[in-house]
Amino acid sequence: MPESTMPQPPRTVLVTGAAGGLGRAIAEGFAAAGDRVAIADINFDGAQATAEAIRGTGADARAFKVDVTDLASVTELAAGVAEFGNGSIDVVVNNAAIYATIKRSPFEQIDPDEWDLVMGVNLKGPWLVTRAASPYLPDGGRVVNLASATIFSGSAEWAHYVASKGGVVALSRVLAKELGARNITVNALAPGFTLTEASYGHMDNAETYGVDRGSIKRASQPEDMVGAALFLASRGAGYITGQTLVVDGGRQFI
């Protein structure tokens, strides 16, 4: 039997920003695939709820509180997840991001403090979490960073968000170069507009927004990102690194 099809032991998967939305869906997807999942979020109550739901399915999950902008916090997180994973962290999914609370503003009117906050969570966060997890990433480890398809088309009055997600793609390429010598892959997953709790809060027509521009004529659901995340983190994707996978139902092609 080829090695890629042989039964494999469970891996330890860290998903940040997994209290809800895309992060929760991705965490549940890894758990359903047989992995143990570390649910990390600044919203610890939400992280616990996700972990409890996963444990209710018979899978192994543990909640962790983290501020991804704080080095001490992510260092403590990485050590705790490695202990949970018997010494290693096999997969890191950097999903935590500021999105729901961002106000659309012309670039001249964006508050510099809000700019710094968005950059801190969305770009500094993946760097710090990967940095902290790096000592525990084994040969064959995987890092998946959540970017956004909007970086390819732009989005007016959202300069800080789009710039932060463009930075995630650039960071992923650098990390792919640096971690490749250890046989660790780093890729970016770029979702299109997806129906999460946060998306509903941004607009009244969330369910129909952009559907007419897609090749697949329906709105994206969080579950639509799960297969792509599992693929990029799979053992079979070991020769794919530094890439950006757009999952937007064919709204744009790059």
Residue with tokens 């999950």, as numbered in its chain? 61
Answer yes or no: are the C-beta atoms of 81 and 38 closer than 8 Å. yes
Residue with tokens 């599992």, as numbered in its chain? 230
From residue 83, alpha-carbon distances to 36, 89, 229, 246 in Å are: 12, 9, 24, 33
Tokens of 178: 């640096």
Report, as residue numbers or ranges, the catalytic residues: 161
> How many C-beta atoms surround the C-beta of residue 127 within 10 A?
18
Tokens of 205: 């027509």
Strand order in the sheet with 36-41: 61-65, 36-41, 12-16, 91-94, 142-146, 185-191, 244-247
